[in-house]
Amino acid sequence: MNSNQEIKESDLKSAIGQPIRERVGIVVDGMDARAAITSITTAERSGVRQIWMTQSPFYPDTITIFAAAAAKTSTIRMGTAIVPSYPRHPLALAQQALAMYDIAPGRFRLGIGPSHRPLMEGVYGLPHKKPLSYMREYFQILRSVLTEGKVNHHGHFFNVVATMPRTSKIPLLISTLGEKAFLLAGEISDGALSWLCPIPYLLKTGLPALRRASSSNGRSEPPLVAHVLVALSEDGTLILEKGHQLLSFYSKLPFYAKMFTDAGFPITTSDDGDKTNVPDSLVKSLVISGNESTIAAKFKELLSRGLSELMVTIVPILDLQVEQKRLMNLIGGL
């Protein structure tokens, strides 16, 4: 950015009501529970205020990791982005969330989503039908259990009757890729969690849909947490290579392929259907690269454009541990 485009941090604070550092979180890998806990404690010491973790079908349980990390930390917030809804009954997830609330009140945000048919049906063997309708009903049960301490729900997907020992104020966020998901988030959620959505797509499609739905339902606009990729490097060739490696898995999932196409980056598939082609332009749109000062300036610019928060994933170029620690220090110093 040139001097005319430079964003004053004081202006940004007053506009949103929170310091920059409170609005930038980092994604921690959960493949190894002990390593994840170490990363979370290291992040807190570095000044990071928010941790996000996904829940893979093949990884240890994220909320269990958070509970262990909460006992070793005192201020850092933790959020799931996301816990897939189909494998877990909403009452069982509410029980986990209540435990986190007891252990670390005010430090836990629960992000949920329907995940993807190839994973839910191919891995768990669960039917993945009408994901947004399912998400709405699932969310209603969670909201009732956590905020009212009871639920008496008889719907299309669930019949749940239960009373909890107490209520808990846990923000409930939902995953958002397509426009309909942003509309649902604006209607019912405490926040929208994007993942690998290009920023122009969020500004043109996601954020307006979120605002329309919240306004038409008489609600305050929920925050939009924008997922961004960061490479602490200026090597364009390596950044492209690593970016393609990261995106190759997602490009095979129909929901992502459609979102990329809607965002102007169509994914092509080989004739046999085994390989997908991710355009270089998509990698360049998603990955923020450069040194610490360049990336910090980009964070501030993005937050000035209507995005509520950033959820940052490191794209390792040479050394994951070194670069992750550099990113933690960068965020902690904002």
Q: pLDDT tens for residues 202-227?
A: 999 999 999 999 999 999 999 999 99
256: in domain: yes
1: in domain: no
What are the structure tokens assigned to 8, written together?
A: 């004053």
Q: What is the mean pLDDT of the chain?
A: 93
Rounded CA separation 178/119 (Å): 18
pLDDT at 15: 39
pTM across the whole model: 0.92
299: in domain: yes
As to burial, measured by CB atoms within 10 angstroms (0-12 exposed, 13-18 middle, 19+ buried), residue 127 is exposed
Residue 230: give its domain's CATH number.
3.20.20.30
pLDDT at 276: 80
Mean pLDDT of 244-261: 93
pLDDT tens digits, 164-197: 999 999 999 999 999 999 999 999 999 999 999 9
Query: Ramachandran region of residue 277, left (φ > 0), alpha (ψ -120 to 50) or beta?
Result: beta
Strands (E), 83-176: 83-84, 108-113, 150-154, 159-163, 172-175
For tokens 């709405």, what's the residue? 136
Side-chain half-sphere exposure of 73, counting CA atoms within 13 A: 30
Q: Are 89 and 151 in contact (CB under 8 A)?
A: no
Rounded CA separation 28/39 (Å): 7
pLDDT at 171: 98
Task: Residue 15: give the domain boundaries.
Answer: 9-332
125: in domain: yes
Mean pLDDT of 48-77: 97
Strands (E), 28-158: 50-53, 77-80, 83-84, 108-113, 150-154
User: Would you place residue 13 in the very low, low, confident or very high pLDDT band (cuts 50, 70, 90)?
Assistant: very low
Query: Ramachandran region of residue 106, left (φ > 0), alpha (ψ -120 to 50) or beta?
Result: left
Could you give the number of structural domains in the chain?
A: 1
pLDDT tens digits, 64-104: 999 999 999 999 999 999 999 999 999 999 999 999 999 99
Rounded CA separation 120/262 (Å): 24
Q: Are 211 and 221 in contact (CB under 8 A)?
A: yes
3: in domain: no
Residue 89 or 6, more confident: 89
156: in domain: yes
3-state secondary structure of 127: coil
pLDDT at 4 exceeding the cut of 50: no
What are the structure tokens assigned to 5, written together?
A: 């485009």
For tokens 């939009």, what's the residue? 224
Rounded CA separation 175/210 (Å): 12
pLDDT at 12 exceeding the cut of 70: no
Q: Are 68 and 33 in contact (CB under 8 A)?
A: yes
4: in domain: no
2: in domain: no
Q: Residue 64's closest CA among 80, 86, 85? A: 80
